[in-house]
Amino acid sequence: MRDTRSSRILFQIGAILFALIITTLVLFLAGAQPFAAYKYIVLGAVGSWDVVTNVLVSWVPLLLATSGLLVTFTVGLWNIGIEGQITLGAIFTTWAMRLLQNSGWNPSLILVIAMLAGILGGLLWALLAGALKTFGGVNEIFGGLGLNFVATALNIWLIFGPWKRPGVASMSGTLPFDRSLWMPIAVGSSRLTPATLVIAIVGIIAVYAMIEGTYFGLKLKAVGRNPKSAYIMGIPTWQHMMASFAICGVFAGLAGAVQVTAVYHRLIPSISSGYGYLGLMVAMLVGYKASLAAPVALFFAALNVGSIQLPIILKLDSSLAGVLQGTLVLFVILGHGVRAKLLKKTKVSS
């Protein structure tokens, strides 16, 4: 086999087919009609203007998380701690809003401060993971995982402790903020907030420009591909790793802030909604290329939103979207592995 564009595309189409086959098998095992399920997912994602805006609402935090992860992947780090970083962003945002909600300040100003607070929260949590890695020798995967648990615990404690609803604490989170403190919603839509959409789009463009067009991005790539050589070439390696953690933390914090100010309008126990892990999958699926992140994240968001109706219509669990997303990533990565092996064989025998 030769390393051509067509062989690459062939393998990706194969991966999608395999993912569909596996998902279809799962549906059969669950006793469901596969084609009906696929139909309702599609309808649930693009069937009406309202569901389309719901997809966009879900796309924003996912794209923010993916953008941040592209930076850490570029420098060769597995920032699995992004979930905790999103959570801390949400906590800091909630904290700022609680402090300011009765101050009588302009709501826009409060929202801006709340977003900045979210950025700070994500940044601090990411730098903690980075410091553990750089100065403590703790692998970022283990450090990040540990910090995720700490973040979740902190979140639950706040919801059931200091920030509990008047009267009785509840799994449904803290008391919602006043409507004046919601991110402004687009006319003709029930949930879409144009400001966050702009932030997410500007964010992914900035990440793309940074990785592909700047000296800093090239240095990140160099460190990610071979830290030893990068060091010999005069690039400070751990400083670049810390910088990429910081950038990812900013994006994660923003995602958390969006969840609080534009989606839930309060702090809930599962405030990160798994967007961090989903972002990892999107980044892997696009092969860490920023140019493809936005459409693939949109597709994943559509799958998520599209499957929300499944329990009601077909009595299927909405986690079906997860099955499809997971198998897709698995087969694409498997395809890369098999292809690389075949290419190596061809090279040896020729």
Residues that bind another protein (CB under 8 A): 209, 213-216, 218-219, 221-222, 225-226, 228-236
**Considering beta carbons, is residue 195 or 207 the nearer one to another protein?**
207
**Considering beta carbons, is residue 213 or 337 the nearer one to another protein?**
213
Q: Which residues contact 219 (CB under 8 A, 6 or more apart)?
A: 230, 235, 240
Instruction: In angstroms, give the least distance from the CB of 230 to another protein.
Output: 6
Instruction: In angstroms, give the least distance from the CB of 213 to another protein.
Output: 5
DSSP 112-175: HHHHHHHHHHHHHHHHHHHHHHHHH---HHHHHHHHHHHHHHHHHHHHHTTTPPSSS--TT-SP
Structure tokens at 181: 């403190």
Instruction: In angstroms, give the least distance from the CB of 214 to another protein.
Output: 5
Instruction: In angstroms, give the least distance from the CB of 234 to another protein.
Output: 5
**Considering beta carbons, is residue 222 or 254 the nearer one to another protein?**
222
> To 5 degrees, how large is the angle CA 69–CA 72–CA 73?
80
Instruction: In angstroms, give the least distance from the CB of 236 to another protein.
Output: 7
Instruction: In angstroms, give the least distance from the CB of 216 to another protein.
Output: 8
Q: What is the C-alpha radius of gyration for the chain, rounded to an integer number of angstroms?
A: 21
Decide: helix, strand or coil at residue 56.
helix
**Considering beta carbons, is residue 147 or 243 the nearer one to another protein?**
243
Instruction: In angstroms, give the least distance from the CB of 215 to another protein.
Output: 4
Q: Which of 209, 200, 205, 40 is CA-nearest to residue 115?
A: 200
Give me the residue label for tokens 């909604």: 273
**Considering beta carbons, is residue 311 or 337 the nearer one to another protein?**
337
Alpha-carbon gap, residue 222 to 229, rounded angstroms: 8
Residue 204 and residue 63 in contact, taking contact as beta carbons nearer than 8 Å: yes
**Considering beta carbons, is residue 203 or 217 the nearer one to another protein?**
217
The size of the chain, in residues, is 350
**Considering beta carbons, is residue 148 or 237 the nearer one to another protein?**
237
Helix residue spans in 233-309 (DSSP H): 237-258, 275-285, 290-306
